[in-house]
Each structure stands twice: as structure tokens, then as C-alpha cells.
Amino acid sequence: MERRWNIAVVGAGAIGGTMAVKLAADGHAVSVVARGEHLEAIRAGGICLEDPDERLCVQVRASDRVDAFGPQDLIILGLKAQQIPAMLPQLAPLLRDDTVVLPAINGVPWWYFHGDTGPLSQGVGGAAPHLTCLDPKGRMFADLDPAHIVGCVVHASGEVVRPGVVRGNGQYRYVIGEPAHVDSPRVQALAALFKAAGCSPEPTDRIRDAIWMKLVGNATFNPVAGLTRARMDEISDNPELIDLIRSGMAEIMGLARACGCDPLVGIDERLRIARGIGPVKISTLQDLERGRPLEIAALLHAPLELAARAGHPMPTIALLSALLGELDRQVRSASRAS
């Protein structure tokens, strides 16, 4: 290990918890923000990662308060997209001028237009526009200077199976890149950090291409998993569901190109990658089973908002969005009633 990083993981769930364990096991000073029984278990016995090859447990500092920790070298945001707006103003005590913020999130990120030069990137007066469905008041760039941000696309699967324990599928691949689509020393430093911790980082100077490549799967498999309650392998073995997913994938790939990006793979290859994830519950299904709000805005509303700007019809994605949105409302209504 070349140097010891101070790292705060805000949201130590399936993805954030996995990163926390890997980095702490490599000797870095890791602090995590968690809540409830998960937090209490981490405080009492540390946090553990179970995967097909090993069980790894580490001790970390843990709190439900972001301001419990001082300035950091790296802040990893392992939150759901809908939790991030309220969190950004709270990060101030953790920030130095050179602190990197790495949002390890699904879907179209709120920072998408920062550093973008694509055909939809011009806002009013030349300023970068914002995605209304993710940032209705246009406050998120003000609450966190986007200069701190390095993009991250997660290709890993995990689940908090009990308080203090995350189960992973053994894949820890993180695509990392600057929003401005350039190489940089901090991207290379992050890649070295994760590689030394036993992960598979991939630095890129085209992070938006990687975002679209992941979204091709997230915007199709995730809503189908929520609507059917099926695991990834069960969806992959159902020809009718795969036909629906193919239609949605074609729409997302067309939108990526309309935004000046390359989705990197074709539909057959993207389906093969999804099948390779194995018999796992996709995050949307995990959230549904736990009665949590579903991550719809970043996965479905944001691409639909971009599609409206680009004049790109997406009837399959619109249908999945409408159905999953109503399911989310029904589940939350039932939860409030009980």
C-alpha cells in the first residue's frame, strides 16, 4: 500500500458496504455512515463481506451522522439516487479542496451534464442544465461543487443479508472516469487504490458511455424484476420477458447515441452479461421486498426526460416506468396503512 487513505462511505449497504470492507481490509482508514440495526451490528462486530471465495470481516468507524468524521481523501456515496439531494449539503465537514466524491450509484446521475459537451448539454445562458426529475429545484450543483466528482459505474452485485453482513457475487468491477471525459491523476490514483484492494477498476476517459452501457440493463431488467419478483436467472430464462427487455434495450441504446454516446455493446452481448450475474435479486427487487421506495427516477424518469429533449420515442421504457411507478405507490400506500 503506497499510502493510507481516509475514506468515508456514506451508505454502507450492498455496494457501499462491499467497497468499505475491501478498502478497510487493505489497511485504509474507513468510516461508514449507516443506520438502524445495520449500524448497531457494525459498531458491535464490524462489517463482513461474504462471497463465493471468502468471508472477510473488518472493523470500521461507524455513525449515523456524516459530521462524525473529519475531512476525507475520498467520499463514496453508496446511497440510492433519491437519497442524495438531502445528503449533499451534509458532506461539507468531510470536504477539502482536493477531496474526491465517488457516487457509486445506478442510473443517470444528477451530475450528468457537468463537463458534458454532447448535443443536449447547453442550458440557459450557456450554463449546464440539470435533470428536473433528479434535481427539481436545481440545487444539487450548488450543494456540492461538481469539481469534486469522479464518475463511477458499478458492475457488482450484493445484498445486505443480515445486519452487518453483505453478500457479494465475487465481482467487484468499477468503471471510473472524469465527467469532462479526460484522463487525470486522480482517476489513476483511484484505479490503483481499488486494484490494490482486490477489486477490478477500469479507468476510462468516456464515463458516459459506461453509464449508458449499464443503464441499458438497469432500465430494463430492474423494472421487470420488480414487476415480476423474478431473479436475474429466472428473467433470462423467460423468452417473453427477454423480448420485452430487448425492445427496451433498443430504445435506450438509441437514446445513448442521440446524446452523443456509445452504449459499447450490442443487445445480445448485454443480455449475455446480465445472464452472467447469476441467480441474484436485482436491487429493485431487494428494495421492493424490504418495503423501500423504488429507484425509479434515475433509472427510468431521467432517460425519459432526456428522450423528450432529444425527440426520441421510448414507448417500452415509458410503459415500464408507468407500471413500476404505480407498484411503488401501491406498496408505499399499503406500508403507511399498516
Q: Which pLDDT band holds residue 127 (cuts at 50, 70, 90)?
A: low
Predicted pLDDT at 158: 87
- Is the same domain home to 308 and 183? no
Kindly name the residue from 22, 137, 195, 214 that is annotated as catalytic.
Answer: 214
Q: Is residue 337 part of a domain?
A: no
Q: Verify whether residue 80 is a known catalytic residue.
A: no
CB atoms inside a 10 Å sphere around CB 290: 8
Q: What is the mean pLDDT of residues 165-171?
A: 92
Q: pLDDT tens digits for 233-250? A: 999 999 999 999 999 999
Q: Which pLDDT band holds residue 3 (cuts at 50, 70, 90)?
A: confident
- Is the same domain home to 21 and 153? yes
- Is the same domain home to 243 and 287? yes
Closest CA relative to residue 302, chosen from 215, 227, 208, 224: 215
What does the block give as the cell for 184? 487525470
338 pLDDT more than 80: no
Grid cell 452487518 in the structure block, residue: 164
- Is the same domain home to 78 and 113? yes
- Structurally, the chain folds into a number of domains equal to 2
Q: Which pLDDT band holds residue 122 (cuts at 50, 70, 90)?
A: confident
Q: Between β-strands 158-162 and 47-50, what pairing exists: parallel, antiparallel or unpaired?
A: unpaired
Kind plus residue range of the DSSP H or E element containing 208? helix 207-228
What does the block give as the cell for 291? 418495503
Q: Is residue 74 part of a domain?
A: yes
- Is the same domain home to 201 and 62? yes
CATH number of the structural domain spanning residue 219 = 1.10.1040.10
- DSSP character for 35? -
Q: State the average pLDDT for the chain.
A: 94
Domain carrying residue 244: 208-332
CB atoms inside a 10 Å sphere around CB 162: 12
- Is the same domain home to 123 and 201? yes
124 pLDDT more than 70: no
16 pLDDT more than 60: yes
- Is the same domain home to 29 and 127? yes
Q: How far apart are CA 160 and CA 165, in angstroms?
A: 6
Contact 81, 107 (CB under 8 A): yes
Q: Is residue 219 part of a domain?
A: yes
Q: Is residue 243 part of a domain?
A: yes
Q: Is residue 323 part of a domain?
A: yes
Q: How far apart are CA 210 and CA 105, in angstroms?
A: 12
What does the block give as the cell for 205? 476517459
